[in-house]
Chains A and B, each alone.
Chain A
Amino acid sequence: MSTLPHDLRRAEPESPDASPARPEYAEVSREVRPAPPRYRNEIGKYSIHRAPHCASCGRCVEICGHGVHVRPEGYLHVMRPYDYRCIGPDCKDTGRYCIDACPQGALKLSVNPAAETMGDYRWTPDLLMSTSAMAETGRPPGNHLECEVGASGGGFDRLRFRFPDSPPPGLRREDISTKLLLNRRGDSRPRITIDVPWYGGGMSFGSTNIRALLAKARVAKAFHGFTCTGEGGYPERFVPYKDHVITQVATGLFGVREETIQRAPIVEFKYAQGAKPGLGGHLLGDKNTPSVAAMRETVVGVPLFSPFPFHSVYSVEDHKKHLDWIAHVNPRALLSAKVSTPNDVDMVAVGIYYAGGHIVHLDGSYGGTGAAPNVAKKNIAMPIEYAIGRVHQFLVDEGIRDQVTVIASGGVRTPADVAKAIALGADGCVIGTAELVALGCIRCTACESGRGCARGIATTDDELLEMVNVEWCTQRLVNLYTAWRQMLVDLLFRLGLDSVAALRGRTDLLTHLDYENEA
């Protein structure tokens, strides 16, 4: 099912061992290039219908500034409208409104009924479509799409920034830093800095298509950032990107070996995850294909359960022994601990620091990309918006805030969410779902069904994974990251800040729509 644009269909190594033999393939450009959607009928907010009495005069092609109407050179007829790019009735104000301009009156604009069925409270249709638009163009979407907040009615969706009347004189967008320092302990380990204050979350080989995983690794390389193996082991095809891959050690210890720890610049202990706090992981038998089973050293077709918790850790002292183990196996690795957001999350964070952790990774309860029991997703542990401020303040009170990096995840959907999380007290974020939406995920939530994701992303099915290729996925993520960075810089500029680090803990720059804001 090849539905990819022609310019992104070039040959690529696809076997797990192919790419290490071609090191040039591992070079990744940060250049923005168009990466059109891979489906024939991309769904947009509006539909444009061209009636049969269209005279193919090309007037619509001439005036549309959004690429909705296209007539390739040498063609007589205008192509079917790329209506997902249409900005809707607001176009009237631009003087380039095709509906009015058509001399035949052959064009009709309407709201696309399919768009209204997409998404949910957290990921509204607008957020899905705006993320996809950014992945295609590398630019912020137009004003016709709400690209900052969802409709959940709480948390990030009710927070807004207070902007000063004008930014300080002399502040230039190109001088604004979005870099994030990951090692603040002042120890002998590398002071790793990444270009943008977010990196890719862990998705295991087995839960997600290897091509999507590789694209995550490649964009991490392009932005000097990171992706994470998840708990499914370390595919050999990650090796060319090893300086940008976090090895995750989870309770199942799938694929955790000495060499996968030694090659990682960061090793992450996953104690819990936001999608299923307090519960173990579960890979359905259908997804445990021969390659997955080989990676995890298990039997093909057998469902795999990760226990919860680490049965070797029942105290902070046990936790310290865990980190010590990794610290000795890899003397240059930073140590990260991923935890969920229970009532005592602030104490957990302090425990991570005193055990030697460089990164406290808080994973809020509303996030996650893989399959999880609905009862857990909705009800167990607190949303990330509450946990960030609690942890930040506790670390400040303990006098250790500047020795540890706090990363927030679990419901971070947009660059505005990233900025709000940082203003609440995080240093940076981990994202997951946004990357998958950029690759074509529409959040149908059927990741666990049968052969896996019908969109070819969260699957190991040989036929389904043909729906995407690494090159296209990489370009979509490069574009998304570029657009996000641009939006973040723009936001910092409007706030009058010269770096994202200066935003940390600046709750005075936030307002909440449900409060009097007079504290």
Chain B
Amino acid sequence: MPAKYVIHHTPAKPRFRPVGKLGIVDWREDCSSCHNCVKRGCVYRLYRDEADTLRDEVGYLDYIYQCKGCLNCVQNCTKNILTRVVNPEYRRLGDSYYTPDLILSTWYQAETGKIPVSGSGYGGPFSGPGFDSMWTDMSEIVRPTRDGIHGREYISTSVDIGRKLPHLAFAVGQLKVDPPPLMETPLPVIFDRIPLHWQRGAVMAAVTTAAAEIGTLAVLCEADIWEKDASVRGHVIPLLETPGASAAQPGGSAPLMMIPDSPDVMAVQAALKRDHPARIVAIRIPAVPTVAGRVADLARDGAEVIHLAFDSHGREQGPAQPRHMRDVLRDTHTTLVRQGIRDEVTLIASGGIAAAEHVAKAIICGADLVAIDVPLMLALECRLCGECERGQLCPIALEEIDVGFGVSRIVNLMAAWHSQLLEMLGAMGIREVRRLRGETGRCMFFEDLERDTFGRLFGKRRS
């Protein structure tokens, strides 16, 4: 059994005051100075800490971020001059997919490396689009292994990247075929190409160093980084934007390279492997409505790794009514299964992987592993305000981050995701993430449950 894979995390406090959800508003001119709020009301000492912070001028005023919303101060105020409001800045965070709650949760994980925990059950919508219309399964009693992050038994999160043979052949006890090259990553998450507007200061150095630290891979456009920095060598996937089938390629002897899809992509792949037979080539395809057929064609032609790129909300690209990656991945996976070639090719899915649960769900739908970009920037305190895309100043001065800080935040986020992945795998009774791929039997889909439960009783569901 290999050594247990553990991502070590250390607290990495934010550089800027994070945007909190709740704030307490008061009207101090009517305050009776009874100190109910300061001395008694707040069991978390936030008002007192605020006073200390003001007096000593240390750090940021984080009481808004820290407020737990218990309402004790509001409800015990002698003059009833306190009230609670939702921070309007919080409401403006992110968008419909990267919601304020999700961003705050990501910040927490990047700061602490811990799983977000809360009480009082689930308070969110019953279901939602995309991954929010899936529930993973669990076992009551019969299962092979247990205990997630606290477990005695090992749950593997390693996945293979590369092409596999449909079967092995032997002659006189000897292997008769040459297995294609394979890479293994200890986590089914790699870091995708970071959009240009975020590639500032030490951001890319932090991303690649973090990838190296936890043993995963980072996709980079600037292939020369791979050549210059020996510390990340082996953890970078050079993405060749305009490769030619015959031209000399940058990226040196990189063991894994990525190229965009094109009519002669298989020739390009062959060219890249000509001098380096052990090299693995990944083909990046935009997830358009016909992608399942294209993936099957490429897999039959010998593609080793196919990277399906969805938009940042996990939607396929092109149509007015795009499908979510949940459905596209199921379609693609099923197409390959029907043609008997699923095991021969590795599928990477990117775009719309915003939380730890999305990793498990994307794999259940058919991906082997996922690639992420936006969550990495959220880990670095990004608020998705879009100022950088408009050429404005970044409110959190992303270009000034220290590499060590960035690495810690990203490593912490991945530690939290890894722990959550273990929890979900443990609950499902699955001891390695490889076995989760396409395992829709360990999952429940909203439309199936609705049809079996309410469709049986109430007929057709209104669209």
Chain A positions near chain B (C-beta within 8 angstroms): 1, 3, 39-43, 80, 112-114, 116-123, 152-155, 157, 271-272, 274-275, 277-280, 305, 307-311, 313-316, 318-319, 339-340, 342-343, 348, 365-383, 385-386, 389-390, 410-411, 433, 436, 441-451, 453-455, 458, 464, 507, 510-512, 514-519
Kindly state whether residue B431 has any CB partner on chain A within 8 Å.
no
Kindly state whether residue B390 has any CB partner on chain A within 8 Å.
no
Cβ distance B385 to chain A, nearest Cβ, rounded Å: 23
B71 touches A444 (CB 8 A): yes
In chain B, what residue has the closest Cβ to A367?
A: B121
| Cβ contacts under 8 Å, B460 to chain A | 515-516, 518
Kindly state whether residue B241 has any CB partner on chain A within 8 Å.
no
| Cβ contacts under 8 Å, B71 to chain A | 43, 114, 118, 442, 444
Known A277-B427, A309-B143; contact A114-B83, beta-carbon cutoff 8 A:
yes
Kindly state whether residue B60 has any CB partner on chain A within 8 Å.
no
The 3 closest A-B pairs by CB, nearest first: A278-B427, A154-B126, A447-B119
B124 touches A117 (CB 8 A): no
In chain B, what residue has the closest Cβ to A112?
A: B83
| Cβ contacts under 8 Å, B80 to chain A | 40-41, 80
Cβ distance A313 to chain B, nearest Cβ, rounded Å: 5
Mask: chain B, 143-157; 1 = CB below 8 Å from A; 0 = not: 100111010000000
What is the total of A-B residue contacts with beta carbons within 8 Å? 277
* Chain A interface helix/strand/loop/mixed: loop
A515 touches B141 (CB 8 A): no
Kindly state whether residue B158 has any CB partner on chain A within 8 Å.
no
| Cβ contacts under 8 Å, A119 to chain B | 123
Extra pairs beyond A365-B135, A381-B137 (7, CB < 8 Å): A41-B77, A117-B86, A279-B423, A379-B136, A381-B136, A381-B427, A516-B458
| Cβ contacts under 8 Å, A510 to chain B | 457-458
| Bound Cα distance from A188 to B137, whole angstroms | 37
Mask: chain B, 450-463; 1 = CB below 8 Å from A; 0 = not: 00111111111110
Kindly state whether residue B392 has any CB partner on chain A within 8 Å.
no
Interface pairs (20), CB distance under 8 Å: A122-B122, A123-B123, A272-B138, A278-B428, A308-B426, A313-B141, A368-B121, A369-B121, A374-B115, A379-B360, A380-B135, A381-B135, A381-B427, A433-B120, A443-B120, A445-B119, A449-B44, A450-B43, A454-B43, A454-B44
| Cβ contacts under 8 Å, B105 to chain A | 374
| Cβ contacts under 8 Å, B420 to chain A | 373, 375
Cβ distance B63 to chain A, nearest Cβ, rounded Å: 15
Mask: chain B, 186-207; 1 = CB below 8 Å from A; 0 = not: 0000000000000000000000
| Bound Cα distance from A213 to B444, whole angstroms | 36
In chain B, what residue has the closest Cβ to A517?
A: B458
Kindly state whether residue B10 has any CB partner on chain A within 8 Å.
no
Which residues of B from 111 to 144 have beta carbons under 8 Å from A? 115-127, 134-143
| Bound Cα distance from A446 to B118, whole angstroms | 6
User: How many residues does chain B have at the interface if contact means C-beta atoms less than 8 Å apart?
Assistant: 74
B148 touches A279 (CB 8 A): yes
| Cβ contacts under 8 Å, A519 to chain B | 455-459
| Cβ contacts under 8 Å, A433 to chain B | 120-121
| Bound Cα distance from A486 to B136, whole angstroms | 38
| Bound Cα distance from A454 to B429, whole angstroms | 36
| Bound Cα distance from A120 to B360, whole angstroms | 26
Cβ distance A105 to chain B, nearest Cβ, rounded Å: 21
| Cβ contacts under 8 Å, A277 to chain B | 138, 427
Known A41-B80, A154-B127, A343-B444; contact A373-B115, beta-carbon cutoff 8 A:
yes
| Cβ contacts under 8 Å, B115 to chain A | 373-375
Known A122-B122, A340-B138, A375-B115; contact A507-B77, beta-carbon cutoff 8 A:
no
| Bound Cα distance from A129 to B125, whole angstroms | 20
| Cβ contacts under 8 Å, A389 to chain B | 453, 456-457
Cβ distance B416 to chain A, nearest Cβ, rounded Å: 9
Kindly state whether residue B273 has any CB partner on chain A within 8 Å.
no
Cβ distance A140 to chain B, nearest Cβ, rounded Å: 24
A448 touches B119 (CB 8 A): yes
| Cβ contacts under 8 Å, B72 to chain A | 39, 454-455
| Bound Cα distance from A253 to B343, whole angstroms | 44
Contact pick for B75, options A40, A311, A377, CB 8 Å:
A40
B140 touches A309 (CB 8 A): yes
In chain B, what residue has the closest Cβ to A447?
A: B119
Kindly state whether residue B85 has any CB partner on chain A within 8 Å.
yes
